[in-house]
Structure 1
Amino acid sequence: MKFRFPVVIIDEDFRSENISGSGIRDLAEAIGQEGVEVIGFTSYGDLTAFAQQASRASSFIVSIDDEEFGDGSDGDVEKALAGIRGFIREVRKRNTDIPIFLYGETRTSRHIPNEILRELHGFIHMFEDTPEFVARHIIREARKYLDSLAPPFFDALMDYASDSSYSWHCPGHSGGVAFLKSPVGQMFHQFFGENLLRADVCNAVDELGQLLDHTGPVAASERNAARIFGCDHLFFVTNGTSTSNKVVWHSTVAPGDIVVVDRNCHKSILHSIIMTGAIPVFLMPTRNHYGIIGPIPKSEFDPETIRQKIADNPFARNAVNKKPRILTITQSTYDGVLYNVETIKDILGSTIDTLHFDEAWLPHAAFHSFYRDMHAIGSGRPRSDDTLVFATQSTHKLLAGLSQASQILVQDSKNRKLDTHRFNESYLMHSSTSPQYAIIASCDVAAAMMEAPGGTALVEESILEALDFRRAMRKVDDEFGADDWWFRVWGPDRLAEEGMGDRDDWVIHSGDRWHGFGEIESGFNMLDPIKATIITPGLDVDGSFDDVGIPAAIVSKYLAEHGIIIEKTGLYSFFIMFTIGITKGRWNSMVTELQQFKDDFDNNEPLWRIMPEFAKRFPKYERVGLRDLCSEIHEVYRQYDVARITTDMYLSKIQPAMTPADAWAKMAHRQVERVAIDDLEGRITAMLVTPYPPGIPLLIPGECYNKIIVSYLQFVRDFNGRFPGFETDVHGLVREKVNGEDHYFVDVVKN
């Protein structure tokens, strides 16, 4: 066996000096003599935790001794079987294939119920065969199991990397050999290891197939992933969902086409608009004063509403073809708000040529009934008559892909199928001719990991861990009491005391106020519980500031210095995700570090003591107390009323003066000028303007600056000057030194 997958033995006599213990140790020794590792346990312990060993084992041998059956009465038999039954149930929830053997003295299959027997790969009787014979039988089944694990491309890549073939093709490091010729290369080789470097090959290796024309083991893996994800076609992408989005758009959209787009879409969609020369018509999402992006109201999807938007747009109203070519929706939003996709499909009918759901943050949804109707494509989903449905997913964000691992899923309509040959021309336009094969393998493996029942179990564990974290945070809050402060996790008021509770608790209903998005029609949206936005004190959902506040940027800097890195930070909120890789240890550490922050805040500890690295980089804060710094930044936020500014600027009416492609052409031809932010009102931006947080473009090329956007940029300038180390980052805003001072500019179209 090439990998470390030990045989796991569970026997209370494993270390006992009796005949039963001697027999099981003889078997363990015989297995070891065959070169296979054995691990022995004397009890099941926590069944759920123990069953997770199934991901590390090649097989289980479970003892069932005569003593455990007592006098043979029903009570003794049931007690003896309870542990085995529980263990098998927990293992099979995650893994239907790993071999499980029962090992006993005199008991036979007539003593074991069918519900247990049908899950077994064998019943081993002590002393009837030699340990060596039994060991070889177990190892044969274990090897068959391990040989079946690897999906097609990963299997072929492992074979190639272990074949010791001499490489004359690129990359130039030749399987890592080049690194061995340099001291720093030796460090690189030792850090990443030989397997990764041997597997880094070019597309000249015929036996691995081709990503670019989808042949061989690559094609087999894409078909396998399509089956697992329940779609008609699936394409691996090795340079992220930004590229997946562009592939979809370039296969569908041409210059002058009208496109309907979520206003708070990812910037890659806006890049696609620029590249294709499309005319965008935007659907406007809601937003609360925490800065959390809410759903697009259901009424915005009405075909008549979309027709009116087209009529109101100065460029779309003159388009030759008024039928939109594509509609792109962000599903889910960054903070986990989901749409009922089937409702959207029903509303739109065939009024739009192609539906595209940017599911960068939702690849897990197809594998659990908790998300039914809340994801774009899956097994058994109804088909449109004429509209193709695309979903683009970041395998690396919530599944187990390497960074940049992504995929494109396609569902054919009843009357129209994807022309894969034409689609591949767009795919080639955006794909490297030297794809990273480790990323392809991770797409392959990430899909295989989600095969039922394992994928369902992984997603359910993520949900349960997220709910346990939310419960733990509420418990801490209750213990501190109403007269003290604590952090709050944004979400529905009702939370089940144990388990997953009712899915409907996470569906947004008319009349709900916890979200701050205003009136939302019941059943159209849901919050994904694995996306946890933690609210810090100082601001309420209506945008009113409290007397005391704790800006989230300070909490994030504090946590980073204590080994906890946050996904996204807002004004008074920060965001974490419960991916399939999150453990109890991680989220419990989060809870304890937040408690430590509270203690340090309440004691006004100086930053040199609690954040020494940060204080070293920014000496002006060295002697400042944590509470004092929070108060100072909170007061500036309150002075500028920045929560309302950031909400209003995203919801403000923005005037398009040029198409995005034409404005971009002005920049490419250098027909732009750099203008100070105080002089921006009414000017046409030549580039994307994207505040971080939330990382959603505020303006796209061709749109005009209005008064509230200018006031926000003025706040950014003033705040960044006062609080180095906590700067608000705005992509598109250029900072330059003028007479030794920082000044801010934006590139706009020349008048």
Structure 2
Amino acid sequence: MQETSQKETPYTALGFYHKISQLRADTWNALKRDLGQLVRVTDGNRARNLIKAIDVKLTRLEIIEDYHAFPSKEDFRHLWSLFERKEYALLEKVVRRLVRALISESYRRRHVDLSETDADAEDLETLDALNQLRRGHPASNSSAQPYFELLIVDNLSVQEEEVVREAFHNMRRPEDRFVYDVVTVRSFEDALIAVLVNPNIQACLIRYEFPYKSKYNLSALRNYLEGLSEKELEYQTEAERSILLSSMIHELRPEIDQFLVTSGDVETTASRDIRHFNRIFYRETDYIEQHHTILRAIDNRYRTPFFDALREYSKKPTGVFHAMPISRGKSITRSHWAGHMIDFYGINIFLAETSATSGGLDSLLQPYGPIKKAQEYAARAFGARQSFFVTNGTSTANKIVVQALIKPRDIVLIDRDCHKSHHYGMVLAGAHVSYLDSYPLNDYSMYGAVPLHEIKKTLLEYKRAGQLHKVKMLLLTNCTFDGVVYNVRRVMEECLAIKPDLVFLWDEAWFAFATFNPTYRPRTAMHAARTLRDRYRSEAYREEYAAWKAEFDALDPDDDATWLERRLMPDPDVVRVRAYATHSTHKTLTSLRQGSMIHVYDQDFRQRVEAPFHEAYMTHTSTSPNYQILASLDVGRMQAEMEGFELVHAQVEAALSLREQLYTHPLLQKYFRVLKNSDMVPAPYRESGVETYYDQVTGWNQMEEAWAHDEFVVDPTRVTIAIGATGVDGDAFKNEYLMNKYGIQINKTSRNTVLFMTNIGTTRGAIGYLLDVLIKLAKEFEYRWEESSRPERKIIEHHVRSLTRDLPPLPDFSRFHDAFRPNPGGQTPAGDIRQAYFLSYDEENTEYLRFDNGELQAQMRAGRDVVSASFVIPYPPGFPVLVPGQVISEEILRFLQALDVTEIHGYRPELGLLVFTEEALVDPPAG
């Protein structure tokens, strides 16, 4: 049968759910196309083939739609009935109307009766489709009741399902703030697959008894059901099975509000660990109480305390006798010249502009009202103990955390190629910095991430030097700009085994979205911290630790292999989980620019950190924060809780579609090679052995395995493409080809790669446009080669060779000069970056040396330690090649000489590198 090709096998019985929404949409459209052809075809063989194809598509769609409220199961029985009666013309009309309802999403706003096929009904769908096209206007959806779906888990008959669905429909009232429909499933497995494939599900009602197994072969669940078996569940009570299901739903989608309906002893059930249920209902509870309880729970997530307060404030007539002439728009509305600002922005942004903290508003520096509540909601959404809004970017968020936790001369372990705000934060805090080297990807002129082996080795050096008590923090970037993601939980666990009170700062500037996807979430800082805290408090962990400790104590503690070659476990009696994460909300979720958050999961926060944290917060936070940024953070949090799962899912789908085309298109493959998992994560760090998430036969089916086990993984939503075969370097490709020719903007390049980042706003149309542009560019490079003369081809070959083979190896961090080391000549590598930074302020302490004419190299050959007096940061790649106080090595010079970028911060080509004079290094003043 034509419809069961290898291309479609990955989707068998929902075996791969990452692209389920695209599969769903594409299959409905293909079904509509096939039916349209069938009603017009005259050839008998063609008609038989179309009927077989329609049968296959209906069968596939029936599985998918089993987990959605529209079309309902009754609707699907109607489709099968028409198909079996061979009423193909009528079936084509019904499917066409159904597809219109799905595209326009009219089922969210009104009941769609598929038994109606008259012209008026079709006109309504057409009108809805037109309204859908107008949704580019910001207010287009604001008046509609938000729609969600309620999942009911109960082993009901077909007739009982309809009775329950009708009962909840009858509870709905026009004055309700939300409108919802009902999805019913009959088993444990079906409940889990429903919450994975249906993002509309916002609430779940678990009722009575239900079996474990689904009637489908749900291979998509294999990673989530690990360790569970039908046999074990058979012996569980109704309450135990319901609690386990609730726990697993919470792990997959923690935002879903869950309710338990029990026919047993409700008082006994309530005394169990039912923390994931909002409420328990006894079976005799009427539907109206369940209805109102569910709506109230949804409303609790839908609220935007500060945004609502700001909107109310903007409506109040006020007399403005404080700073800000632009407040209430007065300086603009009275202007004869500046009125176009209102034409562009609208009046509301000015009505909401104020420096007042009263009148229903709040103070960011000392919140007590709607800002305080908005930050509490953010903590709930991101799984933190406390969350704080930042209105001037994650650069400031990073400095706040560092200043709050680090005192002068505290030692901080930090990845050298992290964001520059961390390096400057070290200067401000007066930290003694111990730089960690990430593994290099020399073929692509970029770094990966810091191996756990390297971190543990450094901690052991401080332990053996008697300096471990001075080590305060480990600071790492998760995920990196290029998409390399740590196994956060494992890093924290093994480091805490060496230093049980170590503080972790995870820079997740590019990873805020990860909280809202079940595959990504376990590799976030807040989830890992919460998981570890729960783990260390359990009796099961104590037993596991005791067995491990007995085995560990029998080994030689002075042998590095004892610590480095085996997995370490911290002592539950002394370990403290102390994790901080900074998020650029504006980068990956909805927020105005510079909207960021700090998330805290620190067991010692209230006792040891709260006061200095608030001092640091006030140090770096403006006393006039932008209220529009704060409001956007509030709305962005609400959106993430209500539809983050859906939006991130669509983002992943878009990225996978782009990758799939790049993996398989012959012409694109010739010039653009998308880097896969094995290209960016060396084999020693891939325990799973997974080289790529995609296979042309089995599809996208290995991602979860890698993300569950490997030390590092690659975020597939970041598509790094090697362009060396084009002979064009990354910077030129970004500006001359992508931006100037086709208006495509990207942030990150290396010498021979470009990075395309998808986000929650990326559409399938945008992916299509990018692919079209890449194909046009590939053809252009093809024509260039075909039409080139022999000398021109030699030039192209030279450029290709320089970008694919003649690449300078990335330099490691060399060392701090002894003048800036607390323990000169000792075992530990830390340096006082603040001392070096401010020493350069006095002009007589520094000089410029050029390396393009060999001046600097001559000094090095003569035996001089040439020491950088400034940060030197080439863009790209964007990390400091040199920091103040660092000895310049030959490897660093070779790398700088090989760079063909024009933007190098801290380097003046006409003067050279700023370095310390030899005299300045003899006895530098303490920092």
TM-score, normalised with respect to structure 2: 0.59
Q: 1:666 to 1:122 in 2, by over 3 A?
A: same
The CA deviation at 1:633 is: 7.6
Residue equivalent to 1:443: 633
Partner of 1:354 in structure 2? 503
Structure 1 contact 495–505 (Cα < 8 Å) conserved:
no
Partner of 2:882: 699
Q: Partner residue of 2:35?
A: none
RMSD: 3.7
Displacement after TM superposition at 1:714 (Å): 3.2
Structure 1 residue 229, shift from structure 2 partner: 1.0
Is residue 663 of structure 1 aligned with residue 836 of structure 2? Answer: yes
Cα deviation code 1:232-283 (max 9, x no counterpart): 0000011111111110010111111111111221111111111111111122
From 534, 548, 551, give the equivalent of 2:721: 534
Deviation per CA, 1:124-166: give whole Å up to 9, x if none.
xxxxxxxxxxxxx536656999987441011101111122423
**What is the deviation of 1:447?**
1.0
SS in 2 for 1:280: strand
C-alpha separation between the residues in 1 aligned to 2:592 and 2:788?
A: 40
CA 528–656 in structure 1, closer or farther in 2 if over 3 Å, else same: farther
After superposition, the Cα gap between the structure-2 partners of 1:643 and 1:690, relative to the gap in structure 1 and judged at 3 Å, is farther
Kept in 2: contact 1:395–1:405 (CA 8 A)? yes
Is the aligned partner of 1:215 residue 2:365?
A: no
Superposition pairs of residues 264-279 of structure 1, within 5 angstroms: 264-279=417-432
Aligned in 2, Cα 1:226/1:139: closer, same or farther, shift over 3 Å?
same
- Residue 739 of structure 2 aligns with an amino acid whose one-letter code is A
Q: Distance in 2 between matches of 1:627 and 1:728?
A: 30
The correspondence of residues 557-572 of structure 1 with structure 2, limited to 5 A, is 557=735, 558-561=737-740, 562-572=742-752
Alignment counterpart, residue 731 of structure 2, candidates 553, 573, 591: 553
* Other-structure match for 1:475: 664
Which residue among 710, 719, 725 is the counterpart of 2:893? 710
Q: CA–CA distance in 1 between the matches of 2:794 and 2:636?
A: 45
What is the CA distance between 1:67 and its match in structure 2?
A: 5.8
Query: How far off is 1:684 after superposition?
Result: 1.7
Q: Following TM superposition, by how much is the alpha carbon of 1:503 offset from its aligned partner in structure 2, in angstroms? A: 2.8
Do the aligned residues in 1 keep the contact of 2:662 with 2:668 (CA within 8 Å)? Answer: no
Conserved? CA contact 1:203–1:433, under 8 Å = no
The percent of aligned pairs where both chains have the same amino acid is: 27
Compared CA separation, residues 706 and 189, structure 1 to 2 (3 A): same
1:138 corresponds to: 174
Letter paired with 2:798: E
Query: Which runs of structure 2 are paired with 1:79-98 in the superposition (5 Å)?
Result: 98=147
Which runs of structure 2 are paired with 1:184-195 in the superposition (5 Å)? Answer: 185-195=338-348
Question: Does residue 205 in structure 1 map to residue 241 in structure 2?
Answer: no
- Of 43, 50, 62, 2:97 maps to 43
Distance 2:764 2:314 in 1: 36
Where do residues 341-490 of structure 1 align in structure 2 (5 Å cutoff)? 341-349=488-496, 350-378=499-527, 381-383=531-533, 385-413=575-603, 419-452=609-642, 454-477=643-666, 480=667, 484-490=670-676
Secondary structure in structure 1 of the residue aligned to 2:109: strand
Counterpart of 1:382, as a letter, is L
Query: Out of 730, 748, 751, which is 2:915 matched to?
Result: 748
Give the letter aligned to residue 290 of structure 1: Y
Letter in 2 for 1:381: T
* C-alpha distance in 2 between matches for 1:588 and 1:580: 16
Q: Which of 481, 504, 522 is the aligned partner of 2:704?
A: 504
CA displacement at 1:193 relative to structure 2: 1.9
From the superposition, tell whether residues 121 and 371 of structure 1 become closer, same or farther in structure 2 (CA, over 3 Å). Answer: farther
Q: Aligned to 1:113, what secondary structure does the other structure show?
A: helix
Match of 1:679 among 837, 855, 860: 855
Deviations 1:290-343 (A, max 9, x none): 0232122221232x54231687xxxxx697x74311111111111111111111
Q: Aligned partner of 1:448: which letter? A: M
Structure 2 residue 446 is the aligned partner of structure 1 residue 292:
yes
Q: Distance in 2 between matches of 1:550 and 1:626?
A: 18
Alignment check: 8 A CA contact 2:727 2:800 kept: no
Q: C-alpha displacement at 1:185, in angstroms?
A: 2.2
Give the gaps of 5 or more residues in structure 1. Answer: 1-40, 69-94, 102-108, 124-136, 312-316, 509-521, 539-547, 607-623, 720-726, 736-742
SS in 1 for 2:603: coil
- Match in the other structure for 1:34: none
One-letter code of the match for 1:524? E
Residues 236-275 of structure 1 mapped to structure 2, 5 A cutoff: 236-275=389-428
Cα distance change, pair 532–481 in 1 and its aligned pair in 2 (3 A): closer
CA distance in 1: counterparts of 2:482 and 2:99, whole angstroms: 37
Equivalent residue number for residue 557 of structure 2: none
Task: Check if 1:61 corresponds to 2:250.
Answer: no
Bigger drift between 348-357 and 112-121 goes to 112-121
Residues 393 and 594 in structure 2, CA contact (< 8 A), matched pair in contact too: yes
Displacement, 1:217? 0.5
Instruction: For structure 2, list consecutive stretches of 5 or more residues without a partner in the other structure.
Output: 1-94, 118-143, 151-157, 180-294, 537-574, 678-690, 821-831, 919-927
For 2:766, the aligned partner's letter is R
Which of 769, 781, 790 aligns to 1:589? It is: 769
8 A Cα contact 1:170 1:202, kept in partner: yes
Aligned CA distance change for structure 1 residues 172 and 113 (closer, same or farther; 3 Å): same
> Whole-Å Cα distance in 1 between the matches of residues 668 and 333 of structure 2?
61
Cα distance in 2, alignment partners of residues 460 and 112 from structure 1: 29
Tell me the CA shift for residue 45 of structure 1: 1.3
Once the 2 structures are TM-superposed, how far is the Cα of residue 661 of structure 1 from its aligned partner? 0.7
Tell me by how many angstroms 1:449 deviates: 1.0
The 1-side partners of 2:165 and 2:701 are apart by 29
* Greater helix fraction, Structure 1 or Structure 2: 2
Match runs of 1:626-641 below 5 Å? 632=795, 635=798, 638=801
Cα 1:505/1:745, change in 2 over 3 Å:
same
Distance of aligned partners of 1:560 and 1:632 in 2 relative to their CA distance in 1, 3 Å threshold: farther
1:355 Cα deviation after fit: 1.0
Partners of 1:506 and 1:631 in 2: CA distance? 42
- Per-residue deviation at 1:712? 3.1
Aligned residue pairs, count:
594
Deviations 1:561-581 (A, max 9, x none): 211111211111101111111
CA distance in 2, matches of 1:629, 1:530: 37
The structure-2 alpha-carbon separation of the partners of 1:193 and 1:643, relative to structure 1 and needing over 3 Å to count, comes to farther
**Residues 676 and 744, structure 1, Cα contact 8 Å, conserved in 2:** yes
Q: Cα offset for 1:369?
A: 1.3
| Other-structure match for 2:325 | 172
Structure 2 CA distance for aligned equivalents of residues 65 and 633 of structure 1: 61
Q: CA deviation at 1:169?
A: 2.5
SS at match of 1:425: helix
Distance 2:329 2:790 in 1: 52
Distance 1:468 1:147, change over 3 A: same
Shift of residue 710 of structure 1? Answer: 2.1
SS in 1 for 2:616: helix
Conserved 8 A contact 2:328-2:353: yes
Q: Which residue of 1 aligns with 2:123?
A: none
- Closer, same or farther: CA 310–50 of 1 in aligned 2, 3 Å: farther
Specify the code of the residue in structure 2 equivalent to 1:559. L
**Structure 2 Cα separation of the partners of residues 451 and 344 of structure 1:** 28
Letter in 2 for 1:523: D
User: Which of 325, 328, 341 is equivalent to 2:475?
Assistant: 328
Instruction: Determine helix, strand or coil for the equivalent of 1:228.
Output: helix
Residues 241 and 407, structure 1, Cα contact 8 Å, conserved in 2: yes
Shift in CA distance, 338/628, structure 1 to aligned 2, threshold 3 Å: farther
Q: CA deviation at 1:207?
A: 1.7
Q: Give the AA of the match of 2:475.
A: T
Deviation per residue, 1:438-479 (Å, 9 max, x gap): 111111111111115x221221111111111111222323xx
What SS does the aligned partner of 1:185 have? coil
Match of 1:493 in 2: 692
Give, in whole Å, the separation in 2 of the partners of 1:644 and 1:604: 24
